[in-house]
């Protein structure tokens, strides 16, 4: 079976170099606000889907919750596992496949860690898996970019120099996806990666979540949890319940 772009790119050390400036304060700000809004019980079990190197999981665990992070990237999970303790665990896992049943109180999928697959069916199957991991009254929160704003303000070409590597980035929209080509040289070798993320709108999410057995209870447009506006909001954050 041919490997997908995300299996190559998320396992590459260059992925973490390019995105090394990701803001932990921003991640913690979102978690603080979601925790205040959702008010989980102190012993709540939380699943962090596509957790990467675990920055959201680690912070949630510091707040006292029992947290499990899953991600397809072996390199990211290997890194995250150094922070494991009694109520914090990390596993290599494909989000499209079932992981525990009726176990978690809350499942998070944060920072546009969705939209990677080719077909709507695959995305719906992933959402159905998320639903099955939750207890009957469980909550699911997905945080995606606001596609409409991203497309309107797309920087088509840019160069970023990080750790002495000059990353040439080219972004465009094709086949209903926002595509980023990443080209660079390092140690006299040329590299080329790409990211392909579905340009899902709120309507797309409403349809897919309904098919998966979720109902949307709240829509936020940024990490301060202000109301979603399709034109101006930075993010699309959906709070969902099992039907």
Q: CA-CA distance, 204 to 175, in Å (whole number)?
A: 15
Residue 48: pLDDT band with limits 50, 70, 90:
very high
* Displacement of CA 241 from its chain's centroid (Å): 18
Task: Kindly list the domain boundaries of the chain, sorted by start residue.
Answer: 5-145+200-242, 150-196
pLDDT tens for each residue of 57-73: 999 999 999 999 999 99
Q: Is the pLDDT assigned to residue 24 strictly greater than 90? A: no
pLDDT tens for each residue of 110-122: 999 999 999 999 9
Task: Report the pLDDT value the prediction gives residue 201, as an integer from 0 to 100.
Answer: 97
Q: CA-CA distance, 190 to 213, in Å (whole number)?
A: 45
pLDDT tens for each residue of 72-103: 999 999 999 999 999 999 999 999 999 999 99
pLDDT tens for each residue of 171-186: 999 999 999 999 999 9
Identify the H or E element spanning 13: helix 13-18
Residue 1: pLDDT band with limits 50, 70, 90:
low
Task: Report the pLDDT value the prediction gives residue 62, as an integer from 0 to 100.
Answer: 96
User: Could you tell me the sign of the dihedral formed by the alpha carbons of 12, 14, 19, 25, in that order?
Assistant: positive
CATH number of 5-145+200-242: 3.40.50.150
pLDDT tens for each residue of 118-149: 999 999 999 999 999 999 999 999 999 999 99
């Amino acid at each position: 079976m041919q490997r997908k772009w995300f299996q190559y790119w998320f396992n590459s050390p260059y992925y973490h170099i390019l995105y090394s400036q990701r803001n932990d304060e921003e991640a913690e700000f979102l978690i603080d606000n979601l925790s205040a809004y959702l008010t989980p019980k102190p012993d709540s079990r939380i699943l962090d889907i596509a957790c990467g190197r675990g920055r959201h999981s680690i912070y949630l665990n510091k707040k006292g919750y029992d947290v499990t992070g899953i991600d397809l990237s072996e390199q990211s999970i290997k890194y995250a596992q150094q922070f494991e303790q009694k109520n914090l665990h990390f596993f290599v896992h494909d989000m499209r496949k079932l992981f525990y049943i009726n176990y978690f109180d809350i499942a998070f999928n944060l920072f546009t860690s969705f939209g990677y697959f080719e077909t709507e069916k695959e995305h719906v199957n992933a959402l159905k898996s998320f639903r099955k991991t939750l207890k009957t009254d469980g909550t699911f929160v997905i945080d995606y970019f606001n596609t409409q704003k991203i497309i309107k303000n797309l920087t088509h070409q840019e160069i970023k120099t990080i750790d002495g590597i000059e990353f040439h980035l080219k972004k465009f929209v094709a086949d209903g996806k926002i595509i980023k080509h990443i080209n660079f040289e390092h140690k006299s070798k040329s590299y080329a990666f790409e990211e392909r993320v579905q340009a899902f709108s709120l309507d797309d999410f409403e349809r897919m979540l309904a098919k998966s057995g979720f109902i949307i209870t709240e829509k936020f447009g940024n990490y301060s949890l202000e109301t979603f506006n399709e034109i101006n909001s930075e993010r699309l954050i959906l709070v969902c319940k099992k039907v």
